[in-house]
Structure 1
Amino acid sequence: MRRTLLAGAAAALGMAALPLRAQSNTRIAFGYTAVTDFTTVFVAKEEGYFDKRGLDVEPRFIPLNPSIPAAVQSNSLQMGGPTPSVFLQSIDGGLDHVVVGGGGTTDKNLTGVGLVARTGSGIKTAQDCVGKKIGVPGLGAYLHVTFRAWLKAQGVDYAKVNFVEAAFPQHSDLLRGGSLDAVVTGDPFMARILASGTGYVASHYTTFMPDGMHSILFTARRDWAEQNPAAVKAFREAIVEAAAFVQDPANDATMRQHIGKYIKLPPEVLATIQIGPPGPLVSEAQLAYWVGVMKEQNMLKTDPDVARLIVQ
């Protein structure tokens, strides 16, 4: 069913004919973090889907997701992949950015994200997190916001948890050294922690969320998007084509090689990590879901007009 929907999306974007080309090989510096939610960007780059549409896309690694909107605003990046909460907070703070497309989405069958506690910490339940130091790869980012929503659903006051911002690659060392009691993390970093014996999974907490909600949004400044409409459409075409590639089991090995190039995973880790369903197109309902989650956590002062935030 999902592959059929992607095929339909491709046709709707005009991919049945010649792909739309941007003018003069538009250069796009694209900011990503070390997670597989960016797989469609990696695939589109490596399979030539950007190139054939006149896009010169340069993926650039950004250690912390909350840094992406500022880099887009300064034009250090023309596009980037903030989490929905980071994006909406930047809008709430006055930045005029728009959604061009989407990365990975939630799926109740995914177990590559969770609360990983330090071995010997004794953390087993949401209540055990009270008073503990828990690392998150970006305050206000996807994992932080969703974990707080889970704590609230479990009847725990998340204000009583001490959250510490820590980039994914630091998680294992911070647990091992005792600086943190637990981390909210994901593969491949979770797999490495478990393999080393440094920590254990206390909860695959994201399974409480509905399926199909984006964990990453692909965004740009509104003025840049308005000045480069052909590039925006060509970028979206490319990630829709990449999403279809990702969903084809015959491409699994090649897809994992592309991921490994950008987030530097060893072959044994690449072979086992789960890849979430791609969501190249973003709907108003999907974005509105995140507005609701953030409103519940008093993270927004305004009421974002989600229709205005998505480039058509």
Structure 2
Amino acid sequence: MKRRTALAALASLPAAASLPAFAQSTTKIVFGYTAVTDFASVFVAAENGYFKKRALDVELKFIPINSTIPAAVQADSLQIGGPTPSVFLQSVDGGLDHVVVAGAGVTSKTITGFGLVARAGSGIRKAQDCVGKKIGVPGLGAFLHVTFRAWLKSQGVDYTKVNFVEAAFPQHGDLLRGGSVDAVVSADPFMSRITDTGVGYVASYYSTFLPENQPTIIHVARRDWVAKNPAAAKSFREAVQEAAAFMNQPKNDAAVRAAIGKYIKLPPEVIAKVQISPPGPVVTEKQLTYWVDLMKDQGMLKTVPDVARLIAK
């Protein structure tokens, strides 16, 4: 019996030894997002199992204010987060060693899903009307704040004479209704809800002045996390790329909107109306350089970053 037991144990060794070759450990990632459709490719990747099939256990965590994402990534409460390019570059300029893992939405002149929404009765109709007014933005130094200031400057307005206050997207309607702000720089689906209720109106779809194919959101991680988890970082990017391909097929529009509605917590009738930014899963040096130049023009950077070092390979 002892001999048979020993032989049986030996016979089982090749099979046991082969198990690690087939087993694939799962990497846990907490991902931080804000309430905008630019994160659609991540939502689709989660809903379609693109992360799971790459052995990634991705937990999506809602973050109210975009500008707080880099600090959460640094603290490791998020492994990957989606700040706007300007928030990311400011955090790097401030000393955080973060890198871009993937991209999210990009600009398009066909998109009118964000703009300047003025309070009913405010009289704001053009850039010059913003001088001396209080305007809410969903993150000081974030995408909408920076691009709106660039638009004001292009219209001959000194943006330092505008009083900007930070306000999360879900608060925009209430702030306008209560008169706490004169206008907000907002985005769908919140912009549509404001205009549908009559609380405010779109004074300008200023976003159409932006060049095509510039990232609105980028997915970043700590450099040391990427160094320790290179396969996971690559797999995350590949999952988002697969989701982008899914999004680019018109037949999948309903599924994409359902994924957005699930994570932004808005009803189907609202989600059905919003425009969805085109996905841009890969971020290039040229795209980051555009943002560096824009921010330098607004005096937002103390140094000029080496953009090549800011993109994970």
Q: TM-score, normalised by structure 1?
A: 0.93
Map of 1:116 onto structure 2 = 117
Measure how far apart 1:23 and its partner are: 5.0
Aligned counterparts, 1:197-276, within 5 A: 197-276=198-277
Q: Distance in 2 between matches of 1:106 and 1:70?
A: 26
Which amino acid in the other structure matches residue 128 of structure 2?
Q
Aligned counterparts, 1:81-100, within 5 A: 81-100=82-101
Q: Distance in 2 between matches of 1:46 and 1:288?
A: 33
Measure how far apart 1:174 and its partner are: 0.3
**1:253 partner SS:** helix
Q: Distance in 2 between matches of 1:285 and 1:267?
A: 37
Which amino acid in the other structure matches residue 164 of structure 1?
V
Measure how far apart 1:206 and its partner are: 0.9
Map of 2:7 onto structure 1 = none
**1:60 partner SS:** strand
Map of 1:3 onto structure 2 = none
Aligned counterparts, 1:103-182, within 5 A: 103-182=104-183
Q: Distance in 2 between matches of 1:23 and 1:223?
A: 22
Measure how far apart 1:270 and its partner are: 1.1
Map of 2:5 onto structure 1 = none
Contact kept in structure 2, 1:23 and 1:230, CA below 8 Å: no
**CA distance 1:253–1:22, shift in 2 (3 Å):** farther
Aligned counterparts, 1:285-304, within 5 A: 285-304=286-305
Query: Cα deviation per residue 1:255-303 (whole Å; 9 max; x = unaligned)?
Result: 1111100001111111110001000000000010000000000000001
Map of 1:16 onto structure 2 = none
**2:123 partner SS:** coil
Contact kept in structure 2, 1:106 and 1:209, CA below 8 Å: yes
Which amino acid in the other structure matches residue 312 of structure 2?
V
Q: Distance in 2 between matches of 1:83 and 1:279?
A: 13
Contact kept in structure 2, 1:22 and 1:230, CA below 8 Å: no
**1:215 partner SS:** coil
**1:76 partner SS:** coil
Map of 1:52 onto structure 2 = 53
Map of 1:37 onto structure 2 = 38
**1:135 partner SS:** strand
Q: Distance in 1 between matches of 2:196 and 2:210?
A: 27
Measure how far apart 1:24 and its partner are: 1.3
Q: Distance in 2 between matches of 1:143 and 1:22?
A: 45
Q: Distance in 1 between matches of 2:26 and 2:62?
A: 22
Query: Cα deviation per residue 1:24-69 (whole Å; 9 max; x = unaligned)?
Result: 1100000000000000100000000000000000010000001100
Q: Distance in 2 between matches of 1:59 and 1:305?
A: 30
**2:303 partner SS:** coil
Q: Distance in 1 between matches of 2:298 and 2:136?
A: 19
**CA distance 1:22–1:285, shift in 2 (3 Å):** farther
Measure how far apart 1:225 and its partner are: 0.3
Query: Cα deviation per residue 1:200-223 (whole Å; 9 max; x = unaligned)?
Result: 000000111101000000000000
Q: Distance in 2 between matches of 1:176 and 1:62?
A: 24
Measure how far apart 1:74 and its partner are: 0.3
Measure how far apart 1:236 and its partner are: 0.7
Map of 1:14 onto structure 2 = none
Q: Structure 2 unaligned segments of length 5 or more: list them.
A: 1-21
**1:281 partner SS:** coil
Q: How many residues align?
A: 292
Query: Cα deviation per residue 1:98-154 (whole Å; 9 max; x = unaligned)?
Result: 000100000001011000000000000100000000000000000000000000000
Q: Distance in 2 between matches of 1:113 and 1:78?
A: 28
Q: Runs ≥4 in structure 1, deviation > 6 angstroms? A: none
Query: Cα deviation per residue 1:175-207 (whole Å; 9 max; x = unaligned)?
Result: 000000000000000000000000000000011
**1:304 partner SS:** coil
Q: TM-score, normalised by structure 2?
A: 0.92
**CA distance 1:68–1:23, shift in 2 (3 Å):** farther
Q: Distance in 2 between matches of 1:180 and 1:155?
A: 23
Contact kept in structure 2, 1:22 and 1:55, CA below 8 Å: no
User: Which structure is larger by alpha-carbon Rg, 1 or 2?
Assistant: 2
**1:69 partner SS:** helix
**2:221 partner SS:** strand
**1:98 partner SS:** strand
Q: Percent identity?
A: 72
**2:117 partner SS:** strand
Which amino acid in the other structure matches residue 32 of structure 2?
G
